[in-house]
Amino acid sequence: MTNKNIKLSEISDIFKKLDVEELEGVTIEGDIELDISGGGGLNPALAYALGHEAAQVSLHVANIARMLGYPVDQLFATSMGAVPAAETTRPNVLDELIPSKFEVSKVAEWNNSIEEVTLGATSADGGSRKNTITLGGENALPYHFDGEMPHRNYVTMDVFDMPIGMAKSVKENYEDVINDPADWAKKVVNDFNADMVTIHLISTDPLINDTPAREAAKVVEDVLQAVDVPIVIGGSGNPQKDPEVLEKAAEVAEGERVLLASASLNLDYERVAKAATDYGHAVLSWTQLEINAQKELNRKLMKQCGVPRDSIVMDPTTAALGYGLDYAYTNMERIRLAGLMGDDELTFPMSSGTTNAWGARESWMKESPMNEDSNWGPREYRGPIWEIITGLTLSLAGNDLFMMMHPTSVEVLKEITQTLFGSVETEPLDITNWIGTEV
Amino acid sequence: MKLNSPLEAYKYLPGTNCGECGETTCMAFASHLIDRSYKLTDCKPMVKDNKYSKKFDVLKQLLAPEIHEVEIGVGERAVKIGGDDVLFRHKLTFFNKTALAYDVWDTMDEKDLVERIKKIDDFKKFYVGEFLTLDMIAVRSTSNDPEKFAATVKKVIDTTDMPMVLCSFNPAVLRAGLDEAADKKPLIYAANQDNWQEVAELVQEYDVAVTVFAPNDLDLLKSLAGTFSGMGIKDIVLDPGTFPTGKELKTTFNNFLKIRRAGINGDHDIAFPIMTVPMTAWMVYDDDVSASYWETVIASIFSVRYGDIMILHSIEPYALLPQLHIRDTIYTDPRTPVTVDPGVMEVGSPDANSPVIVTTNFALTYYTVESDLASSKVDCYILVVDTEGIGVEAAVAGGQLTAEKIKRDFEAAEFDLKTRTNYNTVILPGLAARLQGDVEDVLGANVLIGSADSGRLPGWLETNWPPTKK
């Protein structure tokens, strides 16, 4: 390659006699230094033509560079910053990153701890459970860096004292045990990794079987025999019958420190509370999506019924994803925030009837009843995830204990809540080039 | 926003109570500015009259949301993200629901590509009077070839008007995509520690929004955002990395909390919308169902906690339905009433031979029942009972739905079953079956027990209506 110095006047001379048009097709080879300062008398048309040719050459070269992946435009932007392209903004690129330090403070207002409530009693405490489970104790919203969460979330799985209607994908897990609550309880503990068992005495409802309370209590004994995890005892939801049913159940479970479900404002909560305190159990304080009602009931349980603070768990009501979960979520979050900020009528662990997710048609219906909807796909995959997302959302609001039904839901919910809790170890994953993932 | 009370906004307003905004007083308008149900530009005098321009500018600054709002795309399908003022939805509401972007990639063959885009574009789920739909297409460069990427971007543009995220760490690839798509105002993904200068230049040249990516390095993330701001780039999205499992996911979760808390608390350098990529679940799980489930789990966590835009992979309905619903759950305005007015509503054109169906005044229950019946073109009456906004099952358990309350609300609506209908019959929800005897006694009417879910009511009516006895 040759390297010549050419003065502009010389170029002008060279082409002096030619028509400008004849410049087409001229190629410039080698490194060329143009000495413009020498100046003088360049024909403007010729200068334009020359400039055009030079620009074409540089554009061609730049395109080659760009195809090779070189950031040509950055070069142009920095070296030719004074010549902005007509239709684009003028790039303005710094040479170095502006250094920065990220800082954020912890929440100062979270000064209060949530009560710890222990369920189940081992032989050391006069019970026959293999282990106890402690709920609560948080001093921050769940999984937040503001405070250590002392206990993980727990799952209690539903067992019923008679066959009930269930979504198909739930039912197929229990067909072999549906007539035997003790076997059912064993199955959820041994096969499905339930932390606890809830025995629902629904047959006691006068509108169902009206099973006498004393007979129902036998089922509780059977379940306590069958499994050695802490248990929850639920009535039928009949406000007239439940106090009596729960009294008898509390009596036969004396010493086991069960959770009695539930005391509520629309039944004789004093009797339920007394059954709990008389036999050393904890009581579930159930209200319906209303923070002030929750305060009122907790207050009554403590002041009027003498239930100790370490024996109250709240169920502020769970509505399914798509069916009022927004209210359930925000109600729980407000309750937990109020507790953390010092409202001692709300500083109790919370429980969710996550099973309610199966009431959502998306979880069980074969296909959408709305003609306009896109295909809903196979329902056996829709149901479990409906229960998972319902529970997971409430876990983020501060819920501690989950009452659940489907084994897959339980498995995934435990995996994600324990991941956020911090007890799941995995291999580190390099995500720096996730874009290129082949899936 | 920097204002806490209507009074603080009021002092910048004209104070003339002209009423042009639709409110009778400027103070009323001020309270709507604070709850963000009106925009400052709704005050016409402030916009038109030059003497207010200084106050307008000051007030506009004071009213600006703490988290910068970024718009992506053009036209009707454009999405806005960010714009929040609070950490908890009950403190006000969250604005601009999380934008859901589903991926395509530039090594797909054309037929698959078009089919996938159409599936994403067409997906819809009816819910409370409207359709829930997906928002965006994220185009990933898996080839790292500018030409292939450009061709794929072009195909996306030809197939849908959904806004796009253009994903590559190679500036040459991004440029090729922008050459096709710049006028569609896509979001660029992403600038990182290595390519930030080239990407910054592209962003300025093409005037598009940009994502800055610094996996689990909040100092670097803030530095990138601050540097881009320093170059005059306003529309920035932050990606602190979405690690899909284990303690790294816990850290990711806390990164989101920290960024949003700092932003709401006034750290301008980091007060931008946050991007999450639940798709990283596919880097861990092999089978489609597990990966779709875990991706949906991550998407839900970050719908609740501060994800403003996300890139997802699974388009299985069992993933899309919960993703759409949890996003809707969190972004529903908690200030809207839970209830509808009690009374007797008409669906279609009911007459004396039409069924009378009982439900609650919980808005969600009512709208579900109403749309199920209307969708199947059933002519009927619906008695909406005042259950204090509680759904059927809970209201039966809690005593808000009883025979007496059903009677009370029929009477309040002056609807006499015996004179208005030929069958003197009401249909109770399946979940209120236990009220049957009571309702028969109290109303002196026949009671049928309908399906437990109103989606099955039209089918139920086909076999059970009209009733056999009059």
- Residue pLDDT, tens place only, A275-314: 999 999 999 999 988 999 999 999 999 999 999 999 999 9
Put simply, the chain B residues between 324 and 383 with a CB less than 8 A from any chain A CB are 325-326, 328-330, 332, 334, 338, 362, 364, 371-372, 375-376
Cα B131 to Cα B219: distance, rounded to the nearest angstrom: 40
Token pair for residue A109? Answer: 């207002």
* Cβ distance of B304 and A396 shorter than 8 Å: yes
Given the structure tokens 């142009």, which residue do they identify?
Answer: A76
| CB neighbours of residue A103 within 10 Å | 12
Interface contact flag, A424 B170, Cβ < 8 Å: no
* DSSP reduced 3-state for B385: strand
Contact between B207 and A89 using a beta-carbon 8 Å cutoff: yes
Alpha-carbon distance of B247 to B249, in angstroms, equals 5
Closest residue in A to B286 (Cα) is A439
The stretch B73-102 carries a mean pLDDT of 97
Position A53 scores a pLDDT of 57
d(CA B421, CA B356): 9
pLDDT in tens, B170-186: 999 999 999 999 999 99
A422 backbone φψ class: left, alpha, beta (φ>0; ψ -120 to 50): left
Cα–Cα distance, A387 to A352 (Å, whole number): 11
Q: What is the largest CA-CA distance in chain B?
A: 81
The pLDDT > 70 percentage for chain B reads 100
Q: What is the pLDDT of residue A1?
A: 42
- What pLDDT, on the 0 to 100 scale, is given for residue B335? 86
- Residue B186 is classified by DSSP as P
CB atoms under 10 Å from CB of A148, counted, come to 11
Interface contact A373-B289, CB threshold 8 A: no
Q: How many helices (H) and strands (E) does chain B have?
A: 18, 17
Query: From CA B247, how far away is CA B285, in angstroms rounded?
Result: 17
The tokens of B320 are what? 């899309």
- Looking at every residue in chain B, the average pLDDT score rounds to 95
Taking the CA of residue B273 and the nearest CA in chain A, the distance in Å comes to 16
* pLDDT given for residue A60 in this prediction: 60
- In chain A, % helix, strand, coil (3-state, to 5) comes to 40, 15, 45
Q: What is the mean predicted confidence (pLDDT) over B44-68?
A: 95
CA A226: distance to chain centroid? 34
Q: Which of A63, A326, A399 to probe by mutation at the B interface, max B CB count within 10 Å? A: A326
Contacts of A424 in chain B (CB under 8 A): 245-247
A73/B201 CB distance under 8 A: yes
Map residue A30 onto helix, strand or coil: coil
Of the candidates A110, A437, A433, A145, the residue with the CA atom closest to the CA atom of residue B218: A145
Mean pLDDT on B38-56: 94
Q: How far apart are CA A213 and CA A249, in angstroms?
A: 8
What are the two backbone dihedrals, phi and then psi, of residue B394, each rounded to the nearest 5 degrees? Answer: -70, -35
With 0-12 / 13-18 / 19 or more C-beta atoms within 10 angstroms meaning exposed / middle / buried, residue A47 is: middle
Q: What is the pLDDT of residue B393?
A: 86
Instruction: List the one residue out of B252, B125, B104 whose CA is nearest residue A321.
Output: B125
| Greatest distance between any 2 Cα atoms in chain A | 121
- Give how far Cα B4 sits from Cα of B8, B9, B10, Å: 7, 9, 11
Collapse the DSSP code of B130 into the 3-class scheme (helix H, G, I; strand E, B; otherwise coil) and give the result.
strand
How would you label A261-285 residue by residue, b for 16+ Cβ within 10 Å and e otherwise? Answer: bbbbbebebebbbbbbbebbbbbbb
Q: Name the β-bridge partners of B448.
A: B427
Cβ B322–A385 below 8 Å, yes or no?
yes
The residue-averaged pLDDT of B277-306 equals 97
Strand B209-213, strand B136-140: pairing: unpaired
Element (H, E) at A422: none
At B389, is the pLDDT very low, low, confident or very high (cuts 50, 70, 90)?
Answer: confident
Q: Are strands B209-213 and B236-239 parallel, antiparallel or unpaired?
A: parallel
Contact between chains at B262 and A145 (C-beta distance less than 8 A): no
pLDDT given for residue A33 in this prediction = 44
Is residue A197 within 8 Å of residue A188, measured between CB atoms? yes
- CB of A292 within 8 Å of a chain B CB? The answer is no
* Cβ neighbours around A394 below 10 Å, total: 28
Query: B338 versus B217: which is more confidently predicted?
Result: B217
pLDDT of A81 reads: 45
Within 8 A of B245 by CB-CB distance, chain A residues are 419, 424, 426, 429
Please, what is the end-to-end C-alpha distance for chain A in angstroms?
A: 50
Instruction: Find the CB nearest B226 among A100, A325, A365.
Output: A100
Give A302's DSSP letter.
I
One-letter amino acid for residue B129 of the chain: G
Cα–Cα distance for residue pair A142/A336, rounded to 1 Å: 10
For residue A7, what pLDDT is reported?
53
User: Rounded to an integer, what distance in angstroms lies between the CA atom of residue A411 and that of residue A133?
Assistant: 18
E strand intervals along A237-380: 259-264, 282-286, 312-315, 351-352
B chain contacts of residue A336, beta-carbon cutoff 8 Å = none
Bridge partners (DSSP) of residue B102 are B137, B312
pLDDT of residue A47: 53
CA nearest B122 in A: which residue?
A374
Structure tokens belonging to residue A190: 């041994």
Q: Are B141 and B171 in contact (CB under 8 A)?
A: no
Chain A contact present for B405, CB below 8 A? no
B257 contacts chain A (CB < 8 A): yes
**Chain B contact present for A429, CB below 8 A:** yes
- Nearest CA among B453, B342, B437 for reference residue B392: B453
| Residues paired with residue B311 on neighbouring β-strands, in sequence order | B101
Beta strands at B79-82 and B275-276: parallel, antiparallel or unpaired:
unpaired
Task: Check B242 against A94: CB less than 8 A apart.
Answer: no
Write the pLDDT tens digit of every residue in B195-204. 999 999 999 9
Residue B68 confidence (pLDDT): 97
Please state the separation of Cα A338 from the chain's center in Å: 21
Return d(Cα A12, Cα A16) in angstroms, integer. 6
Distance, CA of B252 to CA of B240 (rounded, Å)? 7
Rounded CA gap, A233 and A263, in Å?
12
Residue from A63, A89, A95, A100 to probe the interface with B (highest B Cβ count within 10 Å): A100
| Beta bridge mates, B310 | B100, B276
Q: What digits encode the pLDDT tens for the residues B137-176?
A: 999 999 999 999 999 999 999 999 999 999 999 999 999 9
The continuous run of DSSP H or E covering A163 comes out as none
Nearest residue to B465 via CA among B428, B423, B431: B423
Kindly report, residue by residue over A225-275, the tens digit of the pLDDT: 999 999 999 999 999 999 999 999 999 999 999 999 999 998 999 999 999
Query: Rounded to a whole number, what is the distance in Å from the CA of A70 to chain B's nearest CA?
Result: 8
Mean predicted confidence (pLDDT) in B371-379: 89
Distance CA A6, CA A32 (A): 7
Q: Alpha-carbon distance A227 to A438, whole Å?
A: 46
Task: For residue B386, name the pLDDT band (cuts at 50, 70, 90).
Answer: very high
Contact B250 A419 (CB under 8 A): yes
Reported as type and span, the H/E element at residue B337 is none
Q: Per residue of chain A (439 residues), what is the pLDDT tens digit? A: 444 555 545 554 554 555 444 444 444 444 444 444 434 445 545 555 555 556 665 666 666 566 565 665 555 555 544 444 444 456 789 999 999 999 999 999 999 999 999 999 999 999 999 999 999 999 999 999 999 999 999 999 999 999 999 999 999 999 999 999 999 999 999 999 999 999 999 999 998 999 999 999 999 999 999 999 999 999 999 999 999 999 999 999 999 999 999 999 989 999 999 999 999 999 999 998 899 999 999 999 999 999 999 999 999 999 999 999 999 999 999 999 999 999 999 999 999 999 999 999 999 999 998 888 999 999 999 999 999 999 999 999 999 999 999 999 999 999 999 999 999 999 999 999 999 999 8
Q: Shortest Cα distance from A264 to chain B (angstroms)?
A: 9
Rounded Cα–Cα distance for residues B226 and A101 (Å) = 11
pLDDT of res. A35: 44
Q: How confident is the model at residue B397 (pLDDT cuts 50, 70, 90)?
A: confident
| Sequence-distant (≥ 6) Cβ neighbours of residue B128 within 8 angstroms | B363, B364, B367, B368, B371
Q: Pairing relation of β-strands A259-264 and A282-286?
A: parallel
Distance CA B256, CA B301 (A): 10
Residue B464 CB coordination number (10 Å) = 16
Q: ipTM more than 0.95?
A: no
Nearest to A422 among B205, B247, B326 (CB): B247
- Strands B187-191 and B164-167 turn out to be parallel
Distance CA B243, CA A7 (A): 62
Residue of A nearest to B257 (CA): A144
| A77 at interface of B, judged by CB pairs closer than 8 A | yes
Residue keyed to tokens 């370490």: A310
Residue A398: predicted pLDDT: 98
Could you give the CA distance from residue A39 to residue A169 in angstroms, rounded to a whole number? 88
- State the Cα–Cα distance between residues B394 and B408, nearest whole angstrom: 19
Ordered DSSP codes for B199-259: HHHHHHHHT-EEEEE-TT-HHHHHHHHHHHHHTT---EEEE-----SHHHHHHHHHHHHHH
- Does residue B63 surpass a pLDDT of 50? yes
Of A315, A296, A290, A321, the closest CA to residue B389 belongs to A290
pLDDT value for A69 = 58
- The stretches of A16-71 forming alpha helices (DSSP H) are 44-67
Strand partners, B137: B102, B164
Residue A31's Cα: distance from chain center in Å?
Answer: 63
